């Protein structure tokens, strides 16, 4: 919200720590029925903060700063806005085969940083420029990964390859 308030022309409420602590009316409806301090962990803070927005602002927020990115395999990768490389999303490399360029958010102005993972979900590469990665660094990554994960799919041309959640893509039945 803070980044959107600085960059977007829309009239966003103040989400600074000072403003939120100055007036707790935004939180009151979410505290109804809580009788113990331990119950505070159940308060949906994201929903409480979102309730400060009008319906139109909530739609605009989802448009400019979505919570998830839909990958070519249909997987919903969570976008992390608190990461140093924000906004960023992590996914197995095989799930973005065929994706020619890095998706943008924020009205098309901000590329999502991809943390590409191995089949064991270990970091392989961090990039904001997927097209450049496929052209340059992928060749070396492929060599290394084919040795470590020989049962998995490491195509020569990742732009023409079918994305997959599996070790190898399913054969097509025509």
Q: What is the pLDDT of residues 108-145, one digit of tens each?
A: 888 999 999 999 999 999 999 999 999 999 999 999 99
pLDDT over 70 (residue 167): yes
What proportion of the chain, given as a percentage, has pLDDT over 90? 65
Enumerate long-range contacts of 1-8, CB under 8 Å, 24 or more apart.
1/49, 1/61, 3/65, 3/81, 4/61, 4/64, 4/65, 4/106, 7/106, 7/109, 8/60, 8/64, 8/107
How far apart, in whole angstroms, are the C-alpha atoms of residue 122 and residue 105? 25
Q: Which residue has the tokens 């409806």?
A: 29
- What's the pLDDT score for residue 96? 96
pTM of the model as a whole: 0.80
Least confident window among 4-8, 24-28, 29-33, 68-72 = 4-8
Query: Where are the domains positioned within the chain?
Result: 2-64, 68-148
pLDDT at 117: 96
Residues contacting residue 27 through CB under 8 Å, at least 6 positions apart = 43, 48
């Amino acid at each position: 919200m803070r980044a959107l308030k600085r960059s977007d022309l829309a009239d966003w409420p103040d989400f600074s720590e000072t403003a939120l602590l100055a007036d707790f009316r935004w939180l009151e409806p979410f505290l109804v029925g809580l009788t113990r301090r331990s119950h505070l962990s159940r308060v949906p803070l994201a929903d409480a903060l979102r309730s400060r927005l009008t319906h139109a602002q909530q739609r605009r927020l989802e448009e400019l700063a979505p919570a998830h990115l839909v990958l070519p395999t249909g997987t919903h990768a969570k976008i992390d806005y608190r990461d140093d490389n924000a906004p960023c999303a992590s996914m197995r490399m095989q799930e973005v085969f065929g994706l020619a360029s890095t998706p943008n958010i924020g009205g098309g102005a901000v590329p999502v940083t991809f943390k590409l993972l191995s089949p064991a979900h270990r970091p392989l590469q961090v990039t904001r420029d997927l097209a450049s990665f496929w052209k340059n660094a992928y060749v070396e990554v492929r060599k290394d990964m084919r040795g470590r994960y020989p049962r998995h799919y490491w195509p020569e041309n990742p732009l023409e390859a079918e994305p997959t959640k599996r070790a190898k893509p399913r054969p097509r039945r025509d």
